[in-house]
Amino acid sequence: MTFQITVQPSGHQFSCDDDETVLSAAMRAGVGLPYGCKNGACSSCKGKVLSGSITHRPHQRRALTEEEEAAGVSLFCCAIPHSDLVLQAREVAGSGDFPVKKMPSRVASMEKVAPDVIVISLQLPATEVLEYRAGQYIEFMLRDGKRRSYSMASAPGAGPITLHIRHMPGGLFTDQVFSTMKERDILRFEGPLGTFFVREDSDKPMVLLASGTGFAPIKAIVEQMKATGSKRQMVLYWGGRRPHDLYMDALCRQWEQEMPNFRYVPVVSDAQPEDSWNGRKGYVHRAAIDDLPDMSGYQVYACGAPIVVESAKRDFVQQCGLPEEEFYADAFTTEADLAQP
């Protein structure tokens, strides 16, 4: 059975089968609902069901609480319709501008930039071009139908696609990257995916918040803003447990020298005496709060571990007056995150 889905306030409509999710049907129809992980863990696709009946596939309660669900709030990546629906959602302009493709790629280079981080460059077939927005991600298609998602760390049109891959011991893909993968290996992926990119209809100053390899899409965004000569004010807060987790610290300091509208604040949460760290300490989002107690006129772009993204959104909105609709995020969910109840 097929149902009709209407999105308010845009009035856009699309059809959805009774065995697919609302998000999958919207993506197929080119309707730009916001999304991130597509598996019920990050809450990026949250919206409201104004009329109609749905059920949810298994998801994480931190992404959608029982109270929210009772109030009609939905995770569209997990929502299965049982009738025609009217949804309330903030659509993302431009999210469907570039085609999603499946293509092979060759590992062009591998560089270990931290004890547990490798930067991989991918070479595409000579006949292929991947158009995307800075901040989007690709999904590697692995054996047995499994997939792994990684944000592109290079700005569109800036040479090979680069990815920042952190080793997750026991991880199906990252164990391979850190042990047997070599240059010239072939990897298949699908992309571009995701709605984490700069909203260009705004000139508000931007807070860029990254933890660990959440720096990857932020790097692409900064490089794109630099390439286009954007004058928007940007401040990057990049957090890691130890100084070596800020594996491209020198590049960020170089941006600060080259871009008058860019400021960089590195933050370390667990520095050891041998690190000789004299910079900011503690949680990265708390550093932003200390510096910017009033965020009412800002946009925030945050990427990293779910706990960092969730804490930042809660505290920026509640303590700093950030409008909730001006918080844009991409939470890096691992298989370990998804296994949590």
- Read off the pLDDT of residues 301-315 as tens digits, 9 standing for 90 and up: 999 988 899 899 999
Question: Does the pLDDT value for residue 341 go beyond 60?
Answer: no
pLDDT value, residue 14: 94
Q: Whole-angstrom distance between the N-terminal and C-terminal Cα of the chain?
A: 31
pLDDT digits (tens, 9 = 90+) for 185-221: 999 999 999 999 999 999 999 999 999 999 999 999 9
Q: Which CATH number fits domain 2-88: 3.30.70.260, 3.40.50.2300, 3.40.640.10, 3.10.20.30?
A: 3.10.20.30
Strands 299-304 and 327-331: parallel
Cα–Cα separations (whole angstroms), residue 33 to 24, 83, 87, 101: 10, 19, 10, 19
| CATH class (in words) of the domain with range 101-193 | mainly beta
Cα–Cα separations (whole angstroms), residue 87 to 13, 28, 47: 10, 17, 7
Residues 6+ away with beta carbon under 8 Å from 225? 198, 232, 234
CA atoms within 13 A on the CB side of 9: 0
Domain boundaries, the chain: 2-88, 101-193, 206-339
Cα–Cα separations (whole angstroms), residue 34 to 76, 291, 323: 9, 29, 17
Q: What is the mean pLDDT of the chain?
A: 92
pLDDT value, residue 159: 82
**Third-level CATH fold of 206-339:** Rossmann fold (3.40.50)
The owner of tokens 């965004």 is 221
How many Å apart are CA 258 and CA 113, to the nearest integer?
23
Name which residue leads in pLDDT, 69 or 94.
69
Question: Does the pLDDT value for residue 339 go beyond 70?
Answer: no
The secondary structure element, H or E, covering residue 113 is: strand 101-114
Question: Does the pLDDT value for residue 84 go beyond 70?
Answer: yes
Partner residues linked to 187 by β-bridges = 105
pLDDT value, residue 340: 54
Tokens of 286: 């708390």
Q: What single-letter DSSP state applies at residue 325?
A: G
Question: Does the pLDDT value for residue 37 go beyond 80?
Answer: no
The owner of tokens 């990252």 is 174
pLDDT value, residue 34: 86
Question: Does the pLDDT value for residue 336 go beyond 70?
Answer: no
- Place 90 in a pLDDT band, splitting at 50, 70 and 90: confident
Cα–Cα separations (whole angstroms), residue 301 to 57, 117, 194, 221, 316: 28, 22, 13, 10, 12
Tokens of 248: 């491209």
Question: Does the pLDDT value for residue 334 go beyond 70?
Answer: no
Rg over CA atoms, the chain? 20
Stretch 73-102: mean pLDDT, rounded?
Answer: 88
Residue from 154, 149, 136 nearest 251 by CA: 154
Q: Name the 3-class secondary structure at 319.
A: helix
Q: By mean pLDDT, which of 73-77, 162-166, 253-257, 293-297 is the weakest? A: 73-77
Cα–Cα separations (whole angstroms), residue 339 to 11, 138, 330: 37, 22, 19
What is the DSSP annotation of 144-203? GG-EEEEEB-S-TTSSSEEEEEE--TT-TTHHHHHHT--TT-EEEEEEEE-S-S--TT--
Cis? peptide before 217, omega within 30° of 0? no
- Place 338 in a pLDDT band, splitting at 50, 70 and 90: low
How many Å apart are CA 78 and CA 230, to the nearest integer?
37
Q: Name the 3-class secondary structure at 276.
A: coil
How many Å apart are CA 40 and CA 68, to the nearest integer?
14
